[in-house]
Amino acid sequence: GSLREDINTTITMATIGNALRGATLAITRSRTAPRVVTSSATRYFSANPHVVVDKFVSSPPPTPSSANAEALRHPNDVHDRNANYSDEDSRSMAGVTASVRHNWTKEEIAELYSLPFHELMYRASTVHRMYWDPAEVQQCTLLSIKTGGCTEDCSYCSQSTRHKTFVKPTPTMKVQEVLEAAKRAKDAGSTRFCMGAAWRELGNKKNAFNHILDMVKGVNGMGMEVCCTLGMLNAEQARQLKEAGLTAYNHNLDTSPEHYPKVITTRTYEDRLETIANVRDAGISVCCGGILGLGEKDTDRVGLLHVLATLPEHPESVPINALVAVEGTPLGDADADDETESDGIADVDAFDMARMIATARIVMPRTMVRLSAGRLSFSDAEQFLMFQAGANSIFNGDKLLTTDNPAFDADTSLFQKLGFVGKPAHAGPRVAPTEVTGEVEITQVKGMEQQYA
């Protein structure tokens, strides 16, 4: 009996070994003959297989012409994009393997975050090239349609009624004013227009909400993608925004659950997560990230990424902000006090930003990572470092709500200098050139139990 079992084990291991060698051979051949279609290296590991492992490299298509160039784009809807890769387990290239996972542990993310900087940058840059075209960068414009007068006590925000800052409350902008601003942004190269209102929640602001729905419809009708950040939303409000044509909704978590109560007390972390769930359930893309420089520790930065990376769906985009300290806010005053230890308040450099962006890129490979507030304080070379870390979206225009931002002309010059092109509106991101040319090894796993999916 034991001899038969040993023989069966030997045969099974030999079968698996031959299958893997066949997969490797197919991949090797595809690399040595790059213009030849690669056959699938699939092997069944039993007479009644439950799992099929398929490793392959994509076959280079004919040289694209202007007529079929758009075929090399993913679907624009993030849910459609993710559905196309539902059977994908991982991607590998140049010694780096990455996958879209929702079961990251804090320890795993902390290990990545703490890598030597050169190694972290190499891994993140490689992952970025496996999933994205690094030359394509989305340009978004953010407009404050309702400034100041917010009742929240966010300790970094100049728009709170609880802080004495330079910001004076203004009424909600007229619909036509907003559409004119959107037109200027579109003419300057922006393809996503974001509208922000300084209040805790939409609540029962029916008249204001109706105006916002008209703004969303108008901007969408101009051929631009539309994003809003309006505070807390209920499920019905999210549904109506989706119906009006809203592309994405921004609702940042700001920091880790543990550090959050030190920054904000008038809205809970759970409140924010509920709004994100309402937006996601309505079919709107989620834009959700955080701010560096709130006095947090590295463990809090890791904690924020852990929450984002373990959501039921990774956000479509994750903005990474550097605090712009504003006099009159608690964090701004603490930063300006020479006699007070800043304890990390507004003390954010290019390496901090690049480390956060790089870690986000690795743990959320298919998520767009947006270089957001604080960009004005970084040189072109420092910004390039952040793009190399995996950032592929920016906010442009001279204002981000109430803080300064690089002007359109400066960003146009930066794009030309770095060889970047803007992502068109209502068009999915380009397929990664490394996928098109067959440089990426893609592992698909299909099975009844989906234990590897």
β-bridge partners, 216: none
* Cβ–Cβ < 8 Å for 219, 191: no
- Whole-number CA gyration radius for the chain: 24
* Cβ–Cβ < 8 Å for 434, 93: yes
The SS3 call for residue 321 is strand
Q: Is 123 a known active-site residue?
A: no
> Which entry of 43, 129, 228, 287 is annotated as an active-site residue?
287
Distance CA 366, CA 361 (A): 8
User: Which sign does the torsion angle of CA 114, 118, 119, 121 carry?
Assistant: positive
Q: Is 154 a known active-site residue?
A: yes
> Which entry of 91, 370, 375, 430 is annotated as an active-site residue?
370
Angle at 197 between CA 193 and CA 200, to 5 degrees: 140
> Which entry of 227, 228, 272, 301 is annotated as an active-site residue?
227
User: Which sign does the torsion angle of CA 83, 89, 94, 96 carry?
Assistant: positive
Among 256, 266, 258, 335, which residue's Cα sits nearest to residue 289?
256
> Which entry of 140, 150, 228, 288 is annotated as an active-site residue?
150
**Phi and psi, residue 343, nearest 5°:** 55, 40
**Phi and psi, residue 220, nearest 5°:** -60, -40
User: Which sign does the torsion angle of CA 227, 109, 378, 345 carry?
Assistant: positive
Distance CA 315, CA 439 (A): 27
> Which entry of 194, 228, 272, 355 is annotated as an active-site residue?
194
Query: Using CB atoms within 10 A of its CB, is residue 112 exposed (0-12), middle (13-18) or buried (19+)?
Result: buried
> Which entry of 157, 280, 288, 361 is annotated as an active-site residue?
157
Query: DSSP characters for 209-246?
Result: HHHHHHHHHHHHHTT-EEEEE-SB--HHHHHHHHHHT-
> Which entry of 140, 154, 228, 288 is annotated as an active-site residue?
154
Q: Is 228 a known active-site residue?
A: no
Q: Is 140 a known active-site residue?
A: no
Q: Is 288 a known active-site residue?
A: no
**Would you name the residues annotated as active-site residues?**
150, 154, 157, 194, 227, 287, 370
